[in-house]
Amino acid sequence: MTNPAAGHNSVDSPMLNSYIERFYDCETDRLHHKEFGDEILAEAKSNGLDPATIRKLAKEKRETPSQRSKREEKETIEELYRHALGMTR
């Protein structure tokens, strides 16, 4: 019978640990950045700005041209439907 820890099923502990540490650091940084982002939005709100709109515009700013095109197409259809229902802005 073969040893399950040998061959292609073996795990390189230092390599595995490296991946775990890197992922852990990434997650920790992500949480830190989220907290910092929340602070920025709270500050914006205290100055009379709408945090939801800021989030939306930041998301749009990150869009690829393909994503932007899809969003704009969806917005055009929504506007067409609003107009058909007498809900024009």
Give pLDDT tens digits for 63-78: 999 999 999 999 999 9
The DSSP letter of residue 12 is -
- Model confidence at 60: pLDDT above 50: yes
Question: What are the CA-CA distances from residue 10 to residues 1, 5, 15, 19, 62 (Å)?
Answer: 15, 5, 12, 16, 41
Please tell me the predicted confidence (pLDDT) of residue 11: 80
Average pLDDT, the chain: 89
What's the pTM? 0.64
1 band by pLDDT with thresholds 50, 70 and 90? very low
Number of DSSP helices (H) and strands (E) in the chain, helices first:
3, 0
